[in-house]
Amino acid sequence: MAALSPLNCPTSSSSSSCSRITPSSPCFSSRTLSLSSSSFKKFLPKKISLQFPRYWNVLKTQDGAVAATASPSENVTPLKNLKDVLSSVTSSKEVREATNFDTNEHDSTVSIVVVGASGDLAKKKIFPALFALYYEDCLPKHFTVFGYARSKMTDAELRDMVSRTLTCRIDKRENCSEKMEQFLKRCFYHSGQYDSEKNFAELDTKLRDHEGGRVSNRLFYLSIPPNIFTEVVKCASKSASSANGWTRVIVEKPFGRDAESSAALTRDLKQYLVEDQIFRIDHYLGKELVENLSVLRFSNLIFEPLWSRQYIRNVQFIFSEDFGTEGRGGYFDNYGIIRDIMQNHLLQILALFAMETPVSLDAEDVRNEKVKVLRSMKPLQLENVVVGQYKSHTKGGVTYPAYTDDKTVPKGSLTPTFAAAALFINNARWDGVPFLMKAGKALHSKIAEIRVQFRHVPGNLFNRSFGTDLDRATNELVIRVQPDEGIYLKINNKVPGLAMRLDRSNLNLHYAARYSKEIPDAYERLLLDAIEGERRLFIRSDELDAAWALFTPVLKELEEKKVMPEFYPYGSRGPVGAHYLAARHNVQWGDISAEHPQV
């Protein structure tokens, strides 16, 4: 391993890519140059640990980046000197000159190993996202993509498989076919068993051949079932981890089925990894509108003062799909809609929405605030949950199947395909405000959105104009995550004319109309963050524990009591019970009477 020094620090998570990112690059951001950013914090590790052979990398910073075999005493002086130098300069240019930090592209490389490369997720999401990053010049100059799976396949066959899913959907600045060809030349394949250290050692040999003696940084994406996570991590840690750079692992959900299995999975992974090397991915956190949630709140003075129980009556998180399990019923039946959508996607968005202002945008500061929100919430009660399951329905001469008609689903299954829940946060900001979640399959539309309903105007002079339905006069902020991304605010407005007639209007930010650039896929953002070592949009272990603590009791109660789901027709708005649940908390679902703005 290379010795850690301020002149050439292989621990930098951006060392492999910073030479590719310029102010004109689409991947350029303030964190690239800011002294307070995570990039430069990696030069100043808060702790250094030497723990053989348990962890993949011998010497690691708090960031999880790994670099050296020098003893702690050997590192004290250069690190202290580097810190003194950094504190005396103000610009990024001065930092580079003062540290002589070598960002030469020839000194490091990134190897991205997609474990489970023959699966649907890899073919439909991961490889296309990597190509999009390459097309946008966001990947380092030296990178290699390796597919690893049990299927027998040659490099040429992998490239043929991958090429079928690649599209140049981003600005056509360069010839699409040329970029595809260049990208595919960097894609290789190795067949092996997931529990074979020998096969991973063979992979390591191939990786080293392509790395060509450079500082090797390795990212493993586990696109495989969770029951083999530990075996893969064990084999890779012993046989294919980086010898002189960082090694990181992206883990796909589900992260267990309940608090106990999740904790067991975390313990197993931490036999071979430290927390900072584990990137638990929830692709919803990479959605553009979810990423924009903090910007909307914390950079607009108009919203932050209103973001509390004083002005907000309820908040709704709505997720619906207009199709059923369609052959995935066997997998889905083991988890159900609560585990599949609510406990992760919707709860993560809730935590981002409700958190207090973090000290900074540093990953740990943001995740600390999210954990505080989750720990402040009351465990979900069965009385505040409604579950449903779609049944067969004929519409327009077409018969749509019931959930249990799926041949991969056990007959008589009680697994919910729909759930609605009311949650509460016990803190000064949100006390008494219901946070309602609703998620389901085979519903009338495909949509994901956040709806913030504000309180009624006290002593409203124009109540008579709205009649008895005061909800019509309620201001509502809608953040449409997908599809047709947008943000709109419902306000009351006078209709032009001599009479005093009021109307509800939308102040609308429609992304497709406002921005010509196509919105990147969530996997692109998250993969780039993992390569750069940015953890803000990934889930920490204590955050995962707090999330499961909220849902595990009610999940066990549903299963132990064999609660019968309420059936709803395929293509409908879901069970009637969901409306009764909302009414019990004096709430009307916003998507029921929603007039989505047309642009």
Write down all domains in the chain, each with its CATH number in brackets.
Answer: 18-99 (no CATH), 105-281 (3.40.50.720), 285-584 (3.30.360.10)
pLDDT digits (tens, 9 = 90+) for 427-442: 999 999 999 999 999 9
CA atoms within 13 A on the CB side of 24: 0
Provide the pLDDT confidence category of residue 570 given band limits of 50, 70 and 90: very high
Residue 197 and residue 236: Cα distance in Å, rounded?
7
Judged against a pLDDT cut of 50, whether residue 30 lies above it is answered with no
Judged against a pLDDT cut of 50, whether residue 145 lies above it is answered with yes
Residue bearing the bigger pLDDT, 42 or 223: 223
Q: Looking at the chain, how many residues does it have?
A: 599
Q: Which segment of 52-56, 299-303, 453-457 scores lowest on mean pLDDT?
A: 52-56
pLDDT digits (tens, 9 = 90+) for 487-505: 888 877 777 877 777 777 7
Mean of all residue pLDDT scores within the chain:
79
Provide the pLDDT confidence category of residue 174 given band limits of 50, 70 and 90: low
pLDDT digits (tens, 9 = 90+) for 33-68: 443 444 444 333 333 333 333 334 433 333 444 433
pLDDT given at position 461: 63
pLDDT given at position 418: 96
**Average pLDDT, integer, range 134-149:** 90
Judged against a pLDDT cut of 70, whether residue 593 lies above it is answered with no
Query: Backbone phi, then psi, for 593, in 5-degree steps?
Result: -110, 25
Asked if residues 315 and 435 have their Cβ atoms less than 8 Å apart, the reply is yes
- Give the 3-state secondary structure of residue 469: coil
pLDDT given at position 351: 94
Asked if residues 391 and 568 have their Cβ atoms less than 8 Å apart, the reply is yes
Judged against a pLDDT cut of 70, whether residue 393 lies above it is answered with yes
Q: Using CA of residue 123, residue 126, residue 129, residue 131, what is the dihedral sign? A: negative
Contact partners, residue 65, CB within 8 Å, separation at least 6: 10, 11, 12, 13, 42, 245, 246, 533
Provide the pLDDT confidence category of residue 467 given band limits of 50, 70 and 90: low
**Average pLDDT, integer, range 398-424:** 91
**Average pLDDT, integer, range 80-107:** 42
> How far are the Cα atoms of 295, 302, 487 from residue 299, in angstroms, in the given order?
5, 9, 15
- Find the catalytic residue in 142, 190, 283, 345: 345
Provide the pLDDT confidence category of residue 506 given band limits of 50, 70 and 90: confident
Establish whether 579 is a catalytic residue: no
Judged against a pLDDT cut of 70, whether residue 171 lies above it is answered with no
Judged against a pLDDT cut of 60, whether residue 379 lies above it is answered with yes
Percent of the chain with pLDDT over 90: 42
DSSP 470-484: GGGG--EEEEEEESS
pLDDT given at position 492: 77
Structure tokens at 338: 């609560």
Judged against a pLDDT cut of 90, whether residue 417 lies above it is answered with yes
Judged against a pLDDT cut of 70, whether residue 6 lies above it is answered with no
Judged against a pLDDT cut of 60, whether residue 414 lies above it is answered with yes
Structure tokens at 115: 């474990």
Strand partners, 312: 454
Q: Which segment of 167-181, 346-360, 434-448 scores lowest on mean pLDDT?
A: 167-181
Q: Which of 78-87, 289-298, 304-313, 471-480 has the highest mean pLDDT?
A: 304-313
Q: Which segment of 19-33, 239-253, 414-428 scores lowest on mean pLDDT?
A: 19-33
pLDDT given at position 472: 65
Judged against a pLDDT cut of 90, whether residue 214 lies above it is answered with no
Q: For Cα atoms 407, 410, 413, give the angle at the middle one, nearest 5 degrees.
A: 125
**Average pLDDT, integer, range 118-135:** 90
pLDDT given at position 215: 87
